[in-house]
Amino acid sequence: MTSLQRRLAALHYDVGPIDGVFGPSTHHGVVAFQKVNSLVRDGIVGPKTWAALARPLIPKPKYTHSGYSVEANLTKQVLYLARQGSVVRILDASSGKASTPTPTGNYKTQRRIDGWRQSSLGLLWRPNYFYYGYAVHGATSVPTYPASHGCVRVTVPAMNRLWSIVGVGTPVHIYR
């Protein structure tokens, strides 16, 4: 198990601590890898996923900034943390469903809340607002498909790992 976690971490997938346990963070790291490599998004490391791990697709950010930036690839349903033209972390994400789409465009984090925020549409963990009430935030449910009311969801542990890196003023790019 640690070899899988080490391989995913070397490819910049967010798997949490390398501890030999196939827990939720490793599962979401596998799903993010499957999304980027256009595999079935089931979180199961079968022959096709192992083969792709040997010859993975390496994503590149669309935008370059001197510091950190966040990119949400809505087609792949992943979030990239980028720095100086390189993807440094890849996270499993779920964006807005068809009836409540995530707005595309180029933004900056305008404000953030360190903790749970009860909105009219649900609970948001450590939201980083980039456009009005739209935020990148942690959630207890991050399905493999677009399911939110327009925000970009990542897992609560993933948001905890991002929190000290992303701040007010961080560029946020949302695209298909």
108-165, pLDDT tens digit by residue?
Answer: 999 999 999 999 989 999 999 999 999 999 999 999 999 999 999 999 999 999 999 9
Q: What pTM does this model have?
A: 0.97
Tokens of 147: 């399911």
Q: Nearest-5° angle of CA 153, CA 31, CA 122?
A: 20
Per-residue confidence at 67, pLDDT binned at 50, 70, 90?
A: very high
Q: Could you give the count of Cα atoms lying within 13 Å of 120 in the half-sphere of its Cβ?
A: 3
